[in-house]
Structure 1
Amino acid sequence: MHALARLALLSALISPALAVLPASAQDIAAGERSWNKCRACHQIGEGAKNLVGPQLNGLIGRHSGSVEGYSYSAANKSSGITWDEAVFAEYIKDPKAKIPGTKMIFPGIKNDKEILDLTAFLKQYDKDGKKL
């Protein structure tokens, strides 16, 4: 069979299988369940306030140490981090390893899929706590 014909056949066989897969590997509902580990110290959504930790509205794209009214550690304020998905994933696995001296006392989330799901949940909220 000609290489182009094999590629067309392979594509015809794989395309229907891919159509049943979710568009994203992230599961927002699972991320919301994971959020339960965070809610003792953080809030998110409209009306979110700083608690033991800062509110997390608009986290992705935000500079570390920049939530108004929250008293950050010197380590967090001077870390120079801009939160993106990769940086957040590294941080949430082991906060004290990523930012030595952080006030955040959390053992971390080690499961990569859970981190992706939690990130998808957090990304739903803009800087004002409105769902996108």
Structure 2
Amino acid sequence: MKSKPTIGRRFLIAGVTLMSAAAASAAPKGDATHGQQLFARCAACHVIGATPGTRMGPNLNGVFGRKAGTLPGYTYSAAMKKFGLTWDAPTLARFLQAPMKVVPGTKMAFPGLSNAQDQADVVAYLKQYRANGTKK
């Protein structure tokens, strides 16, 4: 005959289940090498690294910690200027998933990266670069 779990044990089981679910839904660890390969799709419009300036899109050196729509020398859409968030890994991953849904009216005509691992990989690649284009 099995005994029923005590209230404390039920809470412990529920807590472990919730923690497992949260860990499973956490962003995957990024692979910068694969992110560099994926960035080839972005390179038509964006530059990163030692190459200065902008293309159709802004330079992405030091993008983390930068407020969206504020890189000097690049003309952003009104939508991106109003976006108002500062780029961090979760914000950029969400944007990479569906740019035109996250910032309706953005000039970024990119369908997005639907795969969370691909998003994390591009984020890991971009994180390597300081604002001056050197690697960390």
TM-score (norm 1): 0.79
- How far apart in 2 are the matches of 1:110 and 1:120? 16
Matched pairs, number: 109
- How far apart in 2 are the matches of 1:56 and 1:81? 16
* 4+ runs deviating over 4 angstroms: none
Question: Structure 1: 5+ residue runs without aligned partners?
Answer: 1-23
**Equivalences for residues 43-54 of structure 1 within 5 A:** 43-54=47-58
- How far apart in 2 are the matches of 1:120 and 1:90? 14
| Structure 2 match to 1:102 | 106
**Residue identity matched to 2:41:** K
Question: Structure 2: 5+ residue runs without aligned partners?
Answer: 1-27
Identity %: 42
| Structure 2 match to 1:9 | none
TM-score (norm 2): 0.77
1:49 offset after TM fit, Å? 1.5
1:25 offset after TM fit, Å? 2.9
**Residue identity matched to 2:52:** A
- Partner residue of 1:91 out of 89, 92, 95: 95
Report SS of the residue matched to 1:97. Answer: helix
- Partner residue of 2:37 out of 25, 30, 33: 33
Q: CA RMSD in A?
A: 1.2
1:78 offset after TM fit, Å? 1.2
1:48 offset after TM fit, Å? 2.6
1:64 aligns with 2:46: no
